[in-house]
Chains A and B, each alone.
Chain A
Amino acid sequence: MLGLRDLQAAFAAHLEGEDRPSLADAVMGDTISAAARLRIHRHHVAESLATALAATYSTVQAIVGEDFFRGMAKAFAATDLPRQPVLAEYGGAFPAFVARYGPAASLPYLADMARLDWALNLAFHAPWRDRLSVSDLADLPSEGLLASRVSLAAGSTLVRSAYPIDRIWEASRPGAAAGRVSLDEGPASVIVLRRSGDAAFARLCPAETAFVEALADGKTLEEGAHAAFAVEPAFDLSTTFARLLALQAFAALQHES
């Protein structure tokens, strides 16, 4: 008879696909044998995890179809079981798995779509916190504004890709128009945001991306502006900053001390 520790280890190994005779001996069977009961449980775990991944990675599933997705999701789940009980937090390592998943190699953009899905999932479940508003900045003198550091709001992520991920996302929605998306449309980066009732993303041009990246890195508004001008000398700082404020992309302000 297995001790509790060995029983649990054998059970965990079983869920990952390894059959141990000692485990079957520890499980009762009747008209359904112990080995069959264990397989039913393993199958049920794999199906449940694949369903949870499909909910989080809905764009990936739309792109590859349900059958392919379930095969990929179960292959992932067999190597990466949940470490905590919240299924919405399960699957953070899935994008990296997709990137090296051989059968999906013909879709080089797929891992980036998974990263976008994951960022939207994180944003959706992020707590709603107060955002930076125009009035927080309005009374600052010029020097104070230049030296301000603004951080991205909770749940916000920048997702950069060599592919037009925003267009692919759009084309993958249920009921999307039949038009095609060409990968030759080139790189895209988006900022993913928690909104009051949902999660969303907006596309950023390369200079805007440099601006947001610098700010997210803890740089001042002045340093962020320089980073953007280095990418695009004609960068429209006013329009971009106003746009980001309107999108409520930033969290609390911290003044230079």
Chain B
Amino acid sequence: MNTTRVAIASALAAALVLPAATSQAQGNMEKCYGIAKAGKNDCQTAKSSCAGTSKKDAQADAWVSVPKGACEKIVNGKLTPS
């Protein structure tokens, strides 16, 4: 086994004895962003009802063509990724 392989094997083995200490020491790196959804079922019948459904379909909707939400917080973008 050459020195690089020994180094990699040692580093991997070291990870096995350090995980708890490592994750505690690196609270910032462990920052995890989670989602917890309400239960979703197959049909969502509880939520969808005909209440509010007009006789006209979506073609009559005057929908908004300008995004207006949290995008206002996101700035300095180039239009194409570099």
Q: Pick the residue among B26, B47, B54, B73 that contacts A51 (CB under 8 A).
A: B47
The yes or no answer to A27 lying at the interface (CB within 8 A) is no
Q: Which one of A1-9, A151-159, A196-204 is at the interface? A: A196-204
Most buried by B among A120, A182, A239: A239
Query: A126 in the interface, Cβ–Cβ < 8 Å?
Result: no
Residues of A within 8 A of B77 (CB): 107-109, 163, 183-184
Contact A180 B13 (CB under 8 A): no
User: Known contacts being A40-B53, A51-B44, A124-B37, is A238 close to B73, with CB within 8 Å?
Assistant: no
Q: A183-B76, A195-B34 are in contact. List 20 more A-B contacts (CB 8 A).
A: A40-B57, A48-B44, A51-B44, A68-B64, A68-B65, A85-B42, A103-B65, A107-B77, A108-B81, A124-B35, A143-B1, A163-B77, A181-B75, A182-B76, A199-B35, A200-B35, A222-B8, A239-B26, A246-B23, A247-B30
Report which A residues bind B (CB closer than 8 A): 17, 32, 36, 39-40, 42-44, 46-48, 51-52, 55, 58, 61-68, 70-71, 74, 85-88, 103-110, 120, 124, 134, 137-138, 142-143, 145-146, 162-163, 166, 168-172, 176, 178-184, 193, 195, 197-203, 221-222, 225-226, 237-243, 245-247
